[in-house]
Amino acid sequence: MGFNERENAFIEWYPRGYGVGFKVKERLFETRTEYQKLELYETEGFGKLLVLDGTVQLVEIGEESYHEPLVHPVMLAHPDPRRVLIIGGGDGGTLREVLKHRTVEKAVMVEIDGAVIDVSRRYLKIDRGAFEDPRAELVVGDGVEYIKKAGERFDVIIVDSTDPVGPAKMLFSEAFYKNVFNALNERGLMITQAGSVYLFTSELLDAYREMSKAFDRVYYFSFPVIGYASPWSFLVGAKGDVDFTKIDLKRAGELELKYYDPQRHETLFQMPKYVREMLEP
Ligand code: AG3
């Protein structure tokens, strides 16, 4: 796991010996924050690479292939998303995409590791000014605790966390999803990344089941993400009268998108047959 001297590459190993690697031009730094190991590289072909505890979080060139499908489908399916909560997402990519929506009055981002925000602000800059947007509120704290005590409600809640193993495990539990449900307005959507479709299938099934206990409806979709063992899976929980299979194409037209194609929203729901059959037996 990690930097490979012989190959001069950073490699993330998934289960069963499946690897994803990037050739490295420069090792920018490696540090231990209060919560995790953080590494930053300059890659040969994909700009900067951010790694947390040995897992690829993003590559600068292509990060939109993760942030666009995480943010826009739920934002466009919700009829009027004004207040948005992001849990995790310290690099600012998710916040940046959320703030592209003119309906948004306030976006709160709760990131447990302040060091991720600092490093991203200084070296990555993929927030492209989002951290300074007057609609953004940054909280350095534990999202699990935050959501329990949240005095306000949100239209959309986005969980941009690390994988369903290790410190983020709580973010994939029924208890957490129930708190998310309660923190949503009468009509609301939540979305979470749920790992590699092929390599974390059982984690995906577990998360789907936990989520089904808390929400009125649960949807799943997959998207090919640059830097991850693709396809990647996403789970959406709906509260009240909101249909995730339908989006507002008028609002979609105002966004500049490269990966998620609102005109083809229905193609999101494509899944390998065996996974669909496992999810809906
Ligand atoms: N959030 C983490 C995605 C999980 C990646 N997992 C992996 N490589 N095993 C991404 C943060 C970007 N805002």
Nearest ligand 1 atom to the CA of 162 is 2
CATH topology of domain 64-279: Rossmann fold (3.40.50)
Q: In whole angstroms, give the CA distance from residue 244 to residue 23.
A: 38
Q: How far is the centre of ligand 1, averaged over its atoms, from the C-alpha of 250 (Å)?
A: 30
142 labelled catalytic: no
Question: Tens digits of per-residue pLDDT, 68-125?
Answer: 999 999 999 999 999 999 999 999 999 999 999 999 999 999 999 999 999 999 999 9
What is the rounded average pLDDT of the residues 208-229? 97
Ligand 1 binding pocket mutation candidate from 48, 193, 200 (most atoms within 8 A of CB): 193
Q: Are 105 and 83 in contact (CB under 8 A)?
A: yes
Out of 2.60.120.10, 2.30.290.10, 3.90.1570.30, 2.30.140.10, the CATH code matching 2-59 is 2.30.140.10
What is the rounded average pLDDT of the residues 193-210? 94
pLDDT for the residue 248:
97
Cβ of 262 below 6 Å from ligand 1: no
In the 8-state DSSP scheme, what is residue 259?
Answer: S
Q: What sections of the chain are H helices per DSSP?
A: 64-77, 93-98, 114-119, 143-149, 174-183, 201-214, 249-252, 273-279
Q: In whole angstroms, give the CA distance from residue 69 to residue 192.
A: 11
Q: How far is the centre of ligand 1, averaged over its atoms, from the C-alpha of 240 (Å)?
A: 29
pLDDT band at 278 (very low <50, low <70, confident <90, very high): very high
Question: Tens digits of per-residue pLDDT, 143-179?
Answer: 999 999 988 999 999 999 998 777 788 899 999 999 9
pLDDT for the residue 150:
86
Nearest ligand 1 atom to the CA of 228 is 8
Catalytic residue (choose from 142, 160, 206, 248): 160
Side chain identity at residue 77, one-letter code: A
Work out the mean pLDDT of the chain and round it to a whole number. Answer: 96
Residue 176 in tokens:
């957490």
Q: Is 16 exposed, middle or buried (CB count within 10 Å of its CB: 0-12, 13-18, 19+)?
A: exposed
Q: Are 191 and 74 in contact (CB under 8 A)?
A: yes
Cβ of 193 below 6 Å from ligand 1: yes
Residue 75 CA, chain-centre distance (Å), reads 14
Question: Tens digits of per-residue pLDDT, 34-53?
Answer: 999 999 999 999 999 999 99
Long-range Cβ contact pairs of 57-62 (< 8 A, separation 24 or more): 57/91, 57/162, 58/91, 58/93, 58/126, 58/227, 59/22, 59/226, 59/227, 60/124, 60/126, 61/226, 62/226, 62/227
Q: Where are the domains of the chain?
A: 2-59, 64-279
Using a pLDDT cut of 90, give the percent of the chain over it: 94
